[in-house]
Amino acid sequence: MHFLRATPILGALLAQALAALVLAGLLQALLPELAGRFGIAPVIGAALVLQALLAAGLTRALGLAVWWQWIALAFPFAVALALAAGSLPAWPFGLAFLLLYLFFSNTARERVPLYLSNRATIGALRRLMAERGASCFIDLGSGLGGVVRGIAGDGRKAEGRKAEGYETAPMAFLISAILSKLTGRGQIYRRDIWSADITEADLVYVFLSPEPMPMVHDKAKREMKPGSLLVSNSFAIPGLDADEIWDLSDRRKTRLYLYAMKG
Ligand SMILES: C[S@@+](CC[C@H](N)C(=O)[O-])C[C@H]1O[C@@H](n2cnc3c(N)ncnc32)[C@H](O)[C@@H]1O
């Protein structure tokens, strides 16, 4: 199970293969009767739906992340579409892959896709910065830079406060760097979070996934100064009690884990 979670593409393939086996057994027994009664097209449609549901259920049972369940649901229909369309040109697939890579390049490497913090979270982070009289904010894995701009745009720049983001996905970096330049709010660096300098930060924010949290903890322990704060959106550091947990009253029911750094 752990191996499949660490290599989710194998888990996803296994789920599709097991679902196909079950489906093949069912079809072998029932196909002649069902096809005779309903015609072949509705039976193929129902088989696709069943394959998708079974594969998604198995993906869930294997403990893969939620986006793999969506992939499992879509996969049978994508294959059927490609087969039905015959000789499709290859370039739309290449273009789609390139676009996905430009936004989601950290999904395969770090198991961290791109999803964004909402306004409620940015508001909570602003409150935290104000309460603690904090002057230096860093978002590790800053996505489209909304959090960095939200913190820097709180009038803090004028008080000599700074907000920085570190992002390596090419398109996310480009868009956020341009927006920061245009608005004059915050600074985005195209640098891996593991080589980012967080020694000066009063508050480091992460919204990543469960996978890198042990490494985030190691880095924070090594580099963050005493009295600073690590805030993780949704994903706790395994084996460590948070000093505070903030449950926000937004629709997403955002949970922020606050860890005070001892230095
Ligand atoms: C879930 S998004 C969060 C974006 C932003 N912090 C927010 O809350 O709106 C995580 C981001 O971290 C980036 N990321 C993941 N691993 C990274 C790494 N090793 N170095 C730089 N960025 C990384 C991903 O590309 C993605 O944009």
Amino acid at 174: L
Q: Does the pLDDT value for residue 256 go beyond 90?
A: yes
Residue of 59, 77, 51 whose CA lies nearest to 15: 59
C-alpha 21/C-alpha 15 separation (Å) is 10
Q: How would residue 6 be classed by pLDDT, with cut points 50, 70 and 90?
A: low
Cβ of 140 less than 6 Å from ligand 1: no
Cβ of 116 less than 6 Å from ligand 1: yes
Q: How would residue 158 be classed by pLDDT, with cut points 50, 70 and 90?
A: very low
Cβ of 215 less than 6 Å from ligand 1: no
Residues facing residue 81 across a β-bridge: none
- Coil, strand, or helix at residue 245? strand
Cβ of 192 less than 6 Å from ligand 1: yes
Cβ of 200 less than 6 Å from ligand 1: no
By most ligand atoms within 8 Å of CB, the mutation choice from 119, 207, 250 for ligand 1 is 207
Q: Pick the atom of ligand 1 nearest to 146's CA.
A: 9
Q: Are 15 and 72 in contact (CB under 8 A)?
A: yes
Tell me what the pLDDT averaged over the chain comes to: 89
Q: Are 155 and 121 in contact (CB under 8 A)?
A: no
**How many alpha carbons lie under 13 Å from residue 8 in its C-beta half-sphere?**
20
Nearest CA to ligand 1 atom 20: 192
pLDDT at 4: 67
pLDDT at 43: 87
Question: What's the pTM?
Answer: 0.74
Nearest CA to ligand 1 atom 14: 141
CA angle, residues 17, 21, 26, in degrees to nearest 5: 145
158-177 residues labelled b (16+ CB within 10 A) or e (exposed): eeebbbbbbbbbebbbebbb
Domains and CATH numbers, the chain: 2-88 (no CATH), 119-260 (3.40.50.150)
Q: How would residue 1 be classed by pLDDT, with cut points 50, 70 and 90?
A: low
Cβ of 169 less than 6 Å from ligand 1: yes
Mean pLDDT, to the nearest integer, of 136-162?
82
pLDDT at 137: 96
Strands 203-206 vs 229-233: parallel, antiparallel or unpaired: parallel
Distance in Å, CA 139 to ligand 1 centroid: 9
CB count within 10 Å of CB 141 equals 24
Q: How many helices (H) and strands (E) does the chain have?
A: 9, 7
C-alpha 184/C-alpha 46 separation (Å) is 54
Give residue-wise pLDDT tens across range 196-248: 999 999 999 999 999 899 999 999 999 999 999 999 999 999 999 999 999 99
Q: How long a stretch of residues is the chain?
A: 263
Higher pLDDT, 96 or 185: 185
Beta carbons within 8 Å of 20's beta carbon, 6+ residues apart: 51
Give residue-wise pLDDT tens across range 77-110: 988 887 877 777 778 778 888 888 888 877 767 7
Distance in Å, CA 1 to ligand 1 centroid: 26
C-alpha 226/C-alpha 218 separation (Å) is 15
